[in-house]
Structure 1
Amino acid sequence: MIENVVIIGAGNLATQLALALTGKGIQVKQVFSRTLEAACELAGKVNAQFTNNLSALMPGSDLYIVSVKDSAIQEVMMNLPADKNRLVVHTAGSIPMEALSRFTNNYGVFYPLQSFSKYRNVDFSGIPICIEAHHAATLLQLQQLAERLSSSVHLVNSQERKTLHLAAVFVNNFVNHFYTIGYEILQDKKLNFDLLKPLIQETADKIESMSPLNAQTGPARRNDLGVISDQLNMLQDHPEFQKIYSFVSQSIYHIHQKQNNDLL
């Protein structure tokens, strides 16, 4: 059973994962970050040692969690002290598990499917944790660890995880960008973004009982060309917003036209 870990990274996910593990009695022995200040900050929260030198990582930990940006995973692994028996996982959505295979015989993936911010604590109990491992025994260890954090643990292979990550970009990252656009539109007219928050909440709540397709409303869904034209004119000072509005409206219309044709 995994009882202690070394966290490689001190960003959003690394921070929240370290806090969650500590909260369940799993010791974070050490934190690594390229920035000593970031390593020190996170280590202080979980009573761990810290370093900005990969060659100074503690040996003998039950698990090494690589939680850095995707493009840095290979560099981190290449600079770890050689140990083919070390159990290493990464937490990335789009990087295949086999990216770790050159560096250790014991590897896997521990991917919490959620959006994380460093200074906003989250409850892991309902967060889906997607796991994958090279060996059955390792998979069991990761499953037991994940089940200490969450009631939603899933065995997901690398291609499935990559697809989940793609879908997550649409439903989280792109949607949040639309929040930003809405915020800027209101700021231009000195209107309060808080007025939209009940709408945002209801939109999220509806898909608990309806499919996103059936929950869709708005002028594009109705093909209300008069409203669409008027709103495009309102965006003439924001040509990039116009392009987004037009493209998304067309996408909504075509998806619902296809649904209607399929029902004929």
Structure 2
Amino acid sequence: MVSVILLGAGNVASHLFEAFYNAENISVTQWYNRSLKKLSSYKNKVEITDDLNNLKAANIYILAVSDDAIAELSKQLPLKDQFVVHTSGSVNVYDLDKKHKRGVFYPLQTFSKDTSMDFANVPICIETINKSDYHILKELALNLGSPLKKVNSEQRRVLHLAAVFVNNFTNQLYRIGHEITESQGAEFDLLKPLILETAKKVQDISPYMAQTGPAKRNDKKTIKKHLNSLESLHHQDIYNLLTSSIQQTHGRKKL
């Protein structure tokens, strides 16, 4: 049985708690957050606290907090030689205070508050400073049913950067598509099968081979019509930037 103490109450922490709580060989000993209000709905499932000095003993202390808070929180922990890990994609493992045994348990997935998550679809990127600590993070991931990968801080940083492009930026493009359809009384829902097919396609072929559309074909008349149809200068700028990027990738002349 792996005992865990969670610190933080954001989306990642909440999803991790549910996954840990439902796993057979993981015990959530305690859950800390500086505001107990955010944890109040869980108080019948786990002991909650807002006092770092009341932290109990556990195999792993998981800092599931914002990137900017990791270093400072790790310094504040009244612990020494305990195994402390963070869940960030971009923060170096050495940013954790050196009084701890240090590691990273990075779930490479997007987490939203009101959506469920099957951790069988959440790759866990693992990093430890001491080789002897690796097995406990491996055991934690396997108990969640998650695929796992040993990575270093630089590899994790690159993965996180790429994740911003394929997830955060892509979602913003969905939002723009939603704005465009709403403004003209069209149904955004009609685009959902296209969104799914695009994501499905890159499971089997490279994004380069999957590219289609007017920019790749260099359909100048269609591109011009699209730009003329966009009422927002901001949307026009994004359209031009992405069109230019696709044309450069596929050897087309720029507009």
| TM-score, normalising length: structure 2 | 0.94
1:194: how far off? Answer: 0.5
Among candidates 240, 245, 248, match of residue 251 of structure 1: 245
1:79 aligns with 2:76: yes
> 2:49 aligned to 48, 51, 59, which one?
51
Q: Which runs of 5+ in 2 are unaligned?
A: none
- 8 A Cα contact 1:108 1:133, kept in partner: yes
Q: Secondary structure at the match of 1:34?
A: coil
User: Which residue identity does 1:257 align to in structure 2?
Assistant: G
| Percentage of identical aligned residues | 43
Question: Quick check: 1:231 aligned with 2:226?
Answer: yes
1:103 Cα deviation from its structure 2 partner: 3.4
**Is residue 3 of structure 2 the alignment partner of residue 9 of structure 1?**
no
Contact 2:75 2:97 in 1 (8 A): no
* Residue 93 (1) aligns with residue 92 (2): no
1:164 corresponds to which of 159, 183, 190? 159
Distance in 1 (CA, whole Å) between partners of 2:211 and 2:34 is 44
Q: Distance in 1 between matches of 2:43 and 2:203?
A: 38
Instruction: Report the CA distance between 1:241 and its aligned residue.
Output: 0.6
Deviations 1:76-114 (A, max 9, x none): 112211x2211100000000111114231x110000100
**What is the CA distance between 1:141 and its match in structure 2?**
1.1
Alpha-carbon offset, residue 134 of structure 1: 1.3
The answer as to 2:205 corresponding to 1:210 is: yes
Give SS of 2:85's match: strand
| Pair 1:141-2:141 in alignment | no
After TM superposition, the structure 1 stretch with the greater mean CA deviation from structure 2, 144-153 or 202-211, is 144-153
Counterpart AA for 2:22: G
Q: Which residue of 2 aligns with 1:22?
A: 21
> Could you say which residue in structure 2 is the equivalent of 1:262?
none
| Offset, 1:35 | 2.2
The separation in 2 between residues aligned to 1:120 and 1:28, in whole angstroms, is 21
Give, in angstroms, the shift of residue 145 of structure 1.
1.3
**Alignment partners' CA distance in 2, 1:86 and 1:125:** 28
> Residue type matched to 1:253 in 2?
Q
- The CA distance in 1 between the partners of 2:27 and 2:112, in whole Å, is 22
Give, in angstroms, the shift of residue 42 of structure 1. Answer: 4.1
> Which residue of the partner structure matches residue 104 of structure 2?
109
Structure 1 pair 227–43 and aligned structure 2 pair: CA distance change class (3 A): farther
Cα distance in 2 between the residues matched to 1:141 and 1:85: 15
Q: CA offset at residue 56 of structure 1?
A: 2.6
Structure 1 gaps of 5+ residues are 259-264
The amino acid across from 2:11 in the alignment is: N
Say which is worse superposed, 138-147 or 174-183, in terms of deviation.
138-147
- Secondary structure (helix, strand or coil) at the match of 2:225 reads helix
Q: 1:153 to 1:56 in 2, by over 3 A?
A: same
3-state DSSP class of the match of 1:210? coil
Q: Distance in 1 between matches of 2:132 and 2:54?
A: 28
* Structure 2 letter corresponding to 1:250: S
CA distance 1:80–1:101, change in 2 (3 Å)? closer
Secondary structure of the structure 2 residue equivalent to 1:118: coil
Letter in 2 for 1:103: K
Report how many aligned residue pairs link the two structures: 251
CA displacement, residues 23-46 of structure 1 (integer Å, 9 cap, x when unaligned): 1121112112222211223444xx
CA distance in 2, matches of 1:118, 1:107: 28
Counterparts of 2:63 and 2:51, CA distance in 1 = 14
2:251 aligned counterpart, secondary structure: helix
The normalised TM-score by structure 1 is 0.91
